[in-house]
Structure 1
Amino acid sequence: CYICFISIHHNRIMVRGPYIEPLFDLLQVCAVRARLSLTFALPHMEYFTLPYYYHFGLCLFLSILFHGVLRATAKQPRLRLPPGPWQLPIIGSLHHLLRGLPHRTMRDLSLRHGPLMMLRVCERVAIVVSSAEAAREIYRGNEAAFSERLTSPGIDELYRHGQGIVFAPYGDHWRLLRRILMMELLSARRVEAFRRIREEEAARLVSTIQATSSPSDGRLVNIDERLDEFMTDSAVRAIFGDRLPDRGAFLKIVKQGVGLSSLFDLRDLFPSSRLARLLPRSGKAERQRQETFRLMDNILKTREERRMGREGDDEQDMVDVLLRIQKQGNTRVSLSDGVIRALLTDVFAAALDTTTTILQWAMAELMINPRVMRRVQSEADYVLAGHATVQEASLKSMQYLKVVIKETLRLHPPASLFPRVCVQDCKIQGYDVPRGATMLTNTWAISRDPKYWNEPEKFMPERFECDGVADFRGLDFEFTPFGVGRRICPGIDFAYANIEIALASLIYHFDWELPPRVDPKEIDMTEVFGATVRRKAELFLRPIPRVPL
């Protein structure tokens, strides 16, 4: 009877009817109770006790009844689901995904099963999109059905007292935060206002490397660590107006939150299971939430006091903007302190994780490809000749630097998979996509598809110098490193400005050498999958000053 229950549960997505779910829930309870009765009876040889007969008989009766309902509904047209790999009971396709990194494994599976492929991970149904044509049909013709983000019980705990924008349900709350980000916090005017901060932090990055390096001793610099520090200080000053006195604690708690938001547990894999919901929780999410709120409360209190003591209404940072909107109170949705905390945390975590990842991949690719490094340095010498530091106004003329960044985004999109939740039944490329399924757009696979890119595995920035090549603003579905549609990243301009000035500063002020006896082709480019796809090994280089500050 329990095996019958599992089999029905495994295939219940095929079934339609108003009485299926209530009947299934009742069958689940009885099957679990029958299993528990048998488990406790076996050690004592109590095979014929009344509770066992009662639970067994009731489970058998309901199984037969459920089978009759299935036969009655069998005449209904069955769903034409996308093809997929073979599945196991209970865990479904999970064993296929354990063979390597998810985005690579899904790409390999899609080569056999097609650009629209169905995977079943325990109770979750996922539709993997691996072609630009399928992505275009989804996000241009059916985007309203795929406007929800994938959430989990752990994420809900992190945002219990205030929902940020990343995991907010599609509705008035999300629209308000989106409008605030696009019109106020991350608009072109606001990004331009942060220009002085970026230039100062880029000069500080160069100064730090210059002070810790000496051509005579050959000391190596952890370039990944330096880029992390640059992006942290640049984002902190733009968001909070100044460097934080407890920056280390704040960074630690934000990175822990990013890690927790990308993890899944049994409650995610078996959402209908009462047993999974009864499992004890670790309490990490609750401690994370309390610590984040404590730090944010201190920051908001300090900023409010500073703003009250400042003459005029000029706004210097994002916190000031949010406090002004909160004070006006003319929005349809309340902008509470909890919402402000969650929104600021989302902005900071996204800016830090995404931008730093792209910078680290770019430096690694330049070291592997000396020809590209020489050409971009020649361009920097020509455009920035006579400049003591890199100024953003001059970067507009560095066209080859721009295509280097684009090629890095193509080969190493920071988020390789974009998950959405289907909120209504729809058809994509002739296949039925059921309500509740998770839609995974494999950006990494699409940006390396030979159908759209010549020599896709090769780092070749020159491909973007041709007219008509795809751009990353979300209109060309073969190249969407920042997402697409309504949920596209609102901080593209903010991230790109920081990437450009940091990379230009490192290239203009230094020559870079690998450690002794290390060949460029031996650089470890192994990926680590998480909230973003980072390099597993850190990059150590020897800087040689070429244009000192």
Structure 2
Amino acid sequence: MIIQRIVDSFKITDLFLHFFLILVTYIFTFYYNYLTRPNPLPGPLPLPFIGNLHNLTYDIKQFYEQCQQKYGDICEIMFNGNRCIIISRPEYMEKFLYPTTFLMKIPYLQGIDEMGFYGRGIIFNNDYKSWYYHRQFFTQALLTPKFMDTTINSTNKLFEELNGYWQSLGLHNSLDNNWTLETDFSAWFRGFANDIISIITTGERTYTIASYYNTQSTIKSEHPEALVEDGNKFVNSSIKLIYDGKFFMFAGPFIRHYVPIIRNMSISMLKNRDYLFERFDIIIKNRRKKIEEMPLDDVLLKPMNDEQVRINLVEAILGGTDTTSNLFCFIIYFLCKHPHVKQKMLSEIDFILPKSSKKLYVSQDDISKLKYCKAIIKETSRILPTVYITPRYITEEYEFAGYKWPVGTQFHLNFLAANKHPEIWLNPEIFDPDRFYDDNKYDQKFNDKNLFMFGGSQRICPGRKLAMTELLLLMALVFKNYNVELVNKNEPLKVNAGLTINCEELKVRISPRI
């Protein structure tokens, strides 16, 4: 009765007044705590409730690029109510990449847990024993000579199929072999990378390049339609999952669950995740018997239960599809924008793989000789890395930049800014592969040391050798056989940034090299 009387005594204006007072108190407390925080660093002003989420969601790539320019090599932002220190200088990054003290990448994030990745696999796993267990299987599988032989053979074979698709599309609109085809390389090579990583990790194809070809041609691929019909959807959903990961990482649970429009976005993203998980479960079911029959050194998935297998497959296939295909598209874009670099590359390819040789196959020995091509890959990764930040957080008090940072402090290593730092790199905005090729022009060892292409320490990318091999193969195979030009040379590269930088579209014009 007493409580009822108190409630009845309140008028609607009283409720609004109390809400206003609570809101003002919260905002005052928020900024008081912000202005009196220990170890204050420069950075964009956070907003109540959302911190710097507005900066991160608008153009996250540009935001991280500008952090070093506006606030220096060490600055801070806030998201999910936590401070995050952004590091934008290579020698500072070494302090976080190489000591095992900083093995942990992120604290517990409810969003990543909701996506089904936290504490599983290797990317978002902070339990050392579990992480090391999964890491060992990736390392044993992805770095063995037998695995690399499979990669080379599969890439050569799949390129023959891709070559056939391009010829079919080109000849469809031409009366002779002097055909020209305008097409989207980003779609082709997302499918190509997805097919390759699927073959070498599970022994089965996703038929994504065949699926994309079927969307472009009235003449369908020779593969059964049942095998290829979902291929294009599968690879696009895979890329979407990576982009969605940014949202679940930075947006808090209240925003995701209760803000109407955003809530619907979250539900849609989770449905996409469920679709992919179901597809991976089908792959596991189909392959389980054969996996069990394989020798231990032939497969990274054998001793694990189905959930562990699924997470490893998701990480391997998404990682192998996303970073490789996007970096290859960036390489194509920069080569077409810099004809002198492309001509120097063509000279190397034509010397190692003479035009008189009609074979499509490129061997391991051929790959080892493509020194300038390798320099192009490194320089492209410096200018536009697919992985533009990597997180770390400390599990014990640590002194850095003249401050003592408490346990749980989060750090973001800003590769975008470090790769163009004016005090580290000569003419940092200029695309010049000689940085990693010509010792007489540049200090190549210094540049290699300051390029964090695959991360570092125990967290270094386990697929790094696979990625370099596949990129070199594709450069040799594509440019040995085709002239490649941008459809619109003045158009900027179309990218968006999720957990990685993704090439949305790359329209090129290709024709056979005769």
Give TM-score scaled by structure 1 length: 0.74
Contact 2:98 2:456 in 1 (8 A): no
Cα distance in 2 for residues equivalent to 1:274 and 1:298: 30
Q: Is structure 2 residue 204 aligned with structure 1 residue 242?
A: yes
Could you tell me which of 150, 163, 187 is aligned with 1:225?
187
Q: 1:87 to 1:291 in 2, by over 3 A?
A: closer
How much does 1:302 deviate? Answer: 1.8
Matches within 5 A, 1:471-490: 476=449, 478-490=450-462
Cα distance in 1 for residues equivalent to 2:258 and 2:165: 54
How much does 1:188 deviate? Answer: 4.5
> Unaligned regions of 5+ residues in structure 2, if any?
1-6, 172-176, 207-226
Q: Is structure 2 residue 68 aligned with structure 1 residue 84?
A: no
How much does 1:408 deviate? Answer: 1.0
* Comparing 379-388 and 296-305, the one that deviates more: 296-305
- Amino acid paired to 1:179: Q
Cα distance in 2 for residues equivalent to 1:307 and 1:351: 20
Q: Is structure 2 residue 445 aligned with structure 1 residue 466?
A: no
Matches within 5 A, 1:488-507: 488-507=460-479
How much does 1:415 deviate? Answer: 1.0
Cα distance in 2 for residues equivalent to 1:147 and 1:121: 18
Q: Is structure 2 residue 342 aligned with structure 1 residue 384?
A: no
How much does 1:78 deviate? Answer: 7.6
1:260 match: 244
Contact 1:221 1:541 in 2 (8 A): yes
Instruction: Give the RMSD, CA atoms, in angstroms.
Output: 3.8
Cα distance in 1 for residues equivalent to 2:233 and 2:258: 36
* Comparing 340-349 and 234-243, the one that deviates more: 234-243
Contact 2:496 2:504 in 1 (8 A): yes
Cα distance in 2 for residues equivalent to 1:92 and 1:162: 26
Q: Is structure 2 residue 510 aligned with structure 1 residue 545?
A: no
Q: 1:492 to 1:151 in 2, by over 3 A?
A: farther
How much does 1:160 deviate? Answer: 7.0
Cα distance in 2 for residues equivalent to 1:540 and 1:455: 28
Deviations 1:200-243 (A, max 9, x none): 12232233223322465643122222222221221111112132
Q: Is structure 2 residue 159 aligned with structure 1 residue 184?
A: no
Q: 1:157 to 1:453 in 2, by over 3 A?
A: same
How much does 1:339 deviate? Answer: 0.9
Instruction: Work out the number of aligned pairs and report it.
Output: 467
Q: Is structure 2 residue 312 aligned with structure 1 residue 340?
A: no
How much does 1:512 deviate? Answer: 2.2
How much does 1:459 deviate? Answer: 1.1
Contact 2:106 2:391 in 1 (8 A): yes
Deviations 1:353-397 (A, max 9, x none): 000000000011111111111111111111112431141221211
How much does 1:340 deviate? Answer: 0.8
1:322 match: 301
1:444 match: 416
Cα distance in 2 for residues equivalent to 1:350 and 1:220: 28
Q: Is structure 2 residue 104 aligned with structure 1 residue 147?
A: yes
How much does 1:137 deviate? Answer: 2.4
1:171 match: 128
How much does 1:440 deviate? Answer: 0.8
2:4 match: none
Contact 1:384 1:390 in 2 (8 A): no
* Comparing 445-454 and 180-189, the one that deviates more: 180-189
Cα distance in 2 for residues equivalent to 1:145 and 1:405: 28
- Amino acid paired to 1:448: K
* Comparing 430-439 and 232-241, the one that deviates more: 430-439
SS of aligned partner of 2:248: coil
SS of aligned partner of 1:304: helix
Matches within 5 A, 1:505-544: 505-515=477-487, 518=488, 520=489, 522-544=490-512
Contact 2:43 2:75 in 1 (8 A): yes
> Unaligned regions of 5+ residues in structure 1, if any?
1-36, 71-76, 327-334
- Amino acid paired to 1:232: N
How much does 1:500 deviate? Answer: 0.8
Matches within 5 A, 1:77-156: 79-94=38-53, 97=56, 101-121=59-79, 123-141=81-99, 143-145=100-102, 147-149=104-106, 152-156=109-113
Cα distance in 1 for residues equivalent to 2:104 and 2:74: 19
SS of aligned partner of 1:149: coil
- Amino acid paired to 2:340: R
Cα distance in 1 for residues equivalent to 2:240 and 2:493: 24
Deviations 1:146-200 (A, max 9, x none): 5233563232123279822211123211010011111234445422343211221
Cα distance in 2 for residues equivalent to 1:528 and 1:301: 34
How much does 1:503 deviate? Answer: 1.2
How much does 1:535 deviate? Answer: 3.5
Contact 2:333 2:486 in 1 (8 A): no
Contact 1:148 1:421 in 2 (8 A): yes
Cα distance in 2 for residues equivalent to 1:132 and 1:160: 29
Contact 1:390 1:501 in 2 (8 A): no
Q: 1:258 to 1:355 in 2, by over 3 A?
A: same
Cα distance in 2 for residues equivalent to 1:294 and 1:430: 50
Q: Is structure 2 residue 429 aligned with structure 1 residue 457?
A: yes
Say which one has the larger Rg.
1
How much does 1:94 deviate? Answer: 4.6
Deviations 1:530-549 (A, max 9, x none): 12213444222132333xxx
- Amino acid paired to 1:469: Q
Contact 1:147 1:486 in 2 (8 A): no
2:387 match: 415
Cα distance in 2 for residues equivalent to 1:452 and 1:295: 45
Q: 1:231 to 1:315 in 2, by over 3 A?
A: farther
Cα distance in 2 for residues equivalent to 1:174 and 1:107: 31
1:209 match: 166
How much does 1:488 deviate? Answer: 1.7
1:24 match: none
How much does 1:481 deviate? Answer: 2.3
Contact 1:158 1:288 in 2 (8 A): no
* Comparing 380-389 and 402-411, the one that deviates more: 380-389
Q: Is structure 2 residue 343 aligned with structure 1 residue 367?
A: no
SS of aligned partner of 1:527: strand
Q: 1:336 to 1:225 in 2, by over 3 A?
A: same
Could you tell me which of 364, 367, 387 is aligned with 1:395?
367
Cα distance in 2 for residues equivalent to 1:456 and 1:119: 25
Give TM-score scaled by structure 2 length: 0.79
Percent identity (aligned): 21
Cα distance in 2 for residues equivalent to 1:117 and 1:339: 37
Contact 1:84 1:118 in 2 (8 A): yes
Cα distance in 2 for residues equivalent to 1:274 and 1:222: 37
